[in-house]
Structure 1
Amino acid sequence: MTYNTFPNPSLQITKDHQIFIKENPVEKPGPGQALVHITATGICGSDVHFWKHGQIGELKVLGNCIMGHETAGEVIELGEGVTDVKIGDRVAIEPQVTCGKCFLCLQGDYNLCENTKFLAVYPNDGSMQRFKVVNAQCLYKLPDNMSFEEGALCEPLSVAYHGVERAELELGRGAMICGAGPIGLATLVMANASGASPLVISDLSAERLEFAKKLIPRVKTYQIDLKKSSEENAEGIRELFGPDEEDAPPRVLECTGVESSVITAAYVARRGGSITVIGVGRPTFNNFPFMKLSLAEIDVKFINRYHQSWPPVIKLISEGIIDVKPFVTHRFPLEKADEAMKLSSDPKNGSIKVIIEDKVKVL
């Protein structure tokens, strides 16, 4: 195999918040595994958070770890017993491997498995490297009309897909999306595909709201005013839906995880409606509006990643129902992945999705 002649650079972080490019050994695929040439990896906010803060909730960086979990590539070697993919297949990678034995896995909720191994969550190395061994069951073939970049974007779109699925959006009924970051924008395109109407999205950034408007022209936008309370911002958002209580959205999807935004969502949702929290926030909130939600019988739901989402997301992209190409605002070669992370970590740079690409031909 010609790939043996190529180096395997990787982007690694340390527990003391260092970041660097380092050569990584190339593993051989074992039974049920495949070696993939990683050709496109998106930078996620969690990658930056692990680098800058060293943990997300209970997940801590305790040693060197390779980043990256939004990934697509080409199969270049197969382990024993692998028959669902072949060498040369273009694939998107679901980055979680679960036990497959617990009651959660057996009932289909494998994303809730407590024994999950997830790419780029220490001690599991991620995909910001040229070659990565993965379980073949995590590979999904890409149609010819989908690029590797679109394959990598199946991961953040899967988060949004699971959020919209949990929120139970309905045709012709309003939906509010809090946050126009990458996950909020992914949720917007999914909500648009669902037929929910009207759609409103909020954010602090006028630039991101403008991006959202270009992405989905029918969406209404609201710029959060930090001088106003959560209730006051909620009042302004509700006005975009209509003057009466019945006009308020029955579904709110909170994509920031920020406490003030979750509170705003509580005052936006219609009585009897629901809030689905997609964003990742602090371990605890001090000002959760318990009685507001209780008296209005507003359900609060949460999501943890995704399950069984790659096949439908691939169909949505390949059949042109959603367009994810505009998400990619910056591209970097693998050898400059550290520069890409630094750019992605600074909001002033205006990135939506930064892609690490590797264009070498190894087969």
Structure 2
Amino acid sequence: MSPSKESLKFSKENTCLKLTSDRQLVIDSEPIPICGRNEVLVHIKCTGICGSDIHVWKAGGIGNLQLKSDLILGHECSGEIIHIGSEVTEDFEIGNKVAIEPQLPCGICFLCTNGNMNLCLNVDFMGMPGMPGRSPSIHGSIQRYKTLDPRFVYKLPDNVTYEEGALVEVLSVGYHGIQKAGGLELGKPCAIAGCGPIGLATLILAEAAGAYPIVVTDVSQEKLNFAKSLVPSVYTYKVQTNLSPKESAENVRKLFGKTEYEMPSVVLECTGVASSINTCAYIVRRKGCLTILGVSGRNEIDGFPFMQLSFGEVDVRFINRYHDSWPPVINLIASGKIDVKKFVTHTFPLEKAHVALETVSNPAISTIKVMVKDDEDSLTL
């Protein structure tokens, strides 16, 4: 039998960041959750702020996932196990440092049983509004204590920090995109559009996979410089907004060479912006694959060059989140094959989590990954 809340020792209340139904950010306190027999109770130590958090705040949802009630945000997270339910069979101990996969699929639909759990229509996803008529909204990780299904909690090696553990979610998007694209091989060219967190995660994973040359694009020279600091061998192209997608693509292609054979057969689009997607459609080599990782929240893409892709028999693929990525990504971080420490540019204590979201949403402040941390040294503006 699991102990009651009163029998556990909590040094602090369950402080949280709540997005109200009228889209106000409020520092609040929720009841400390009681750990069920098949759950683990985790003290959330670190949560990264995602662009989707900002979109839900500013727009009231993403696509048909619309905010209907108060919601605790956050899903890129790590923490420390502080209680283990009596029927948990996984190999956990109190004090384990863990990274948390934020999706909980139903496990019984045809998508789950076919191994495509990331496409489950009945998924519970932390910190996101629920699917209409299906899954409810599930409170996220910008709170001190959270109960979790142990099947989606992964132990971190001693040499992996809480910040790196929280970054596994971002890296998983890039990992799944590279897996879905296929064809990324040693010494083969690759183009990546966008130097936000997902684009940078995709870059370091592509470099670890042996792709070369790699060209990254962005409208920000500062972000391109950051990409170069992560992977010195990368070629960069600053997007000129006065050029058409086709003109921009011609400039990017010149960085790869002169012949069609030298052009990238793998192009990974990490912004979700229509002009960038359309540019990538002109960059990719014939018989290649354009994989779209970025999500803008829009339902339609203007100016998509259908015939360009059709004549070249180019595969166009999409991803939705990830699956089976936490263990390999943790292994890559622990082994030192990828280094993500530079990703974290700002940290804030839990009690100032609202400032973290305001920082990410402020175009005057240059950020890569902003973290909300609890019981850790934090920096504030």
Same-fold call, TM cutoff 0.5 = yes
Please state if 1:139 is matched with 2:153.
yes
Matched, 1:335 2:360: no
Match of 2:264, SS?
coil
Give the drift of 1:68: 0.5
Could you give the per-residue CA deviations for residues 17-63 of structure 1, whole angstroms, max 9, x where no partner exists?
21110011111111321110000110010111100111111111111
Distance in 2, matches of 1:108 and 1:311, equals 16
- My pick for the range that moved more, 136-145 or 6-15, is 6-15
> Using the alignment, how far apart are the partners of 1:155 and 1:80 within structure 2?
28
Q: Using the TM superposition, give the Cα deviation of residue 347 of structure 1 relative to its aligned residue in structure 2, in angstroms.
A: 2.7
Alignment of 1:114-153 (within 5 A): 114-122=121-129, 123-153=137-167
Alpha-carbon separation, structure 2, partners of 1:313 and 1:152: 11
Aligned length, in residue pairs = 361
Query: Which residues in structure 2 correspond to 1:65-84 (within 5 Å)?
Result: 65-84=71-90
The structure 2 residue matched to 1:48, chosen from 29, 37, 54, is 54
Partner AA of 2:265 in structure 1? P
- Retained in 2: the 8 A contact 1:66–1:126? yes
Where do 5+ consecutive residues of structure 2 fail to align? Answer: 1-6, 130-136, 377-381
Q: CA deviation at 1:179?
A: 0.4
- Structure 1: how far apart are the matches of 2:112 and 2:35? 24
Structure 1: gaps (5+ residues): none
**Who is 1:100 aligned against?**
107
Q: Which of the residues 278, 299, 313 maps onto 2:293?
A: 278
1:38 aligns with 2:44: yes
Q: Which residue of 2 aligns with 1:263?
A: 278
2:373 corresponds to which of 344, 357, 362? 357
Distance 1:83 1:89 in 2: 15
Paired residues of 1:9 and 1:24 also in contact (CA < 8 A): yes
Matched residues in 1 for 2:365 and 2:176: separation? Answer: 29
AA aligned to 2:20 is T
Q: Trace 1:205-220 onto structure 2 (pairs within 5 A).
A: 205-220=220-235
Match in the other structure for 1:16: 22
Q: TM-score, normalised by structure 1?
A: 0.97
Q: Distance in 1 between matches of 2:337 and 2:220?
A: 27
The answer on 1:293 being equivalent to 2:300 is no
| Percent identity between the two aligned chains | 52
Shift of residue 259 of structure 1?
0.6
- Counterpart AA for 2:358: K
Extract structure 1 runs of 4+ deviating beyond 6 A.
none
8 Å Cα contact 1:14-1:51 kept in structure 2:
no
In angstroms, what is the RMSD of aligned CA positions?
A: 1.2
Is residue 309 from structure 1 mapped to residue 352 from structure 2 by the alignment?
Answer: no
SS of 1:208's equivalent in the other structure is helix
* Distance in 1, Cα, partners of 2:290 & 2:148: 35
Shift of 1:8: 1.0
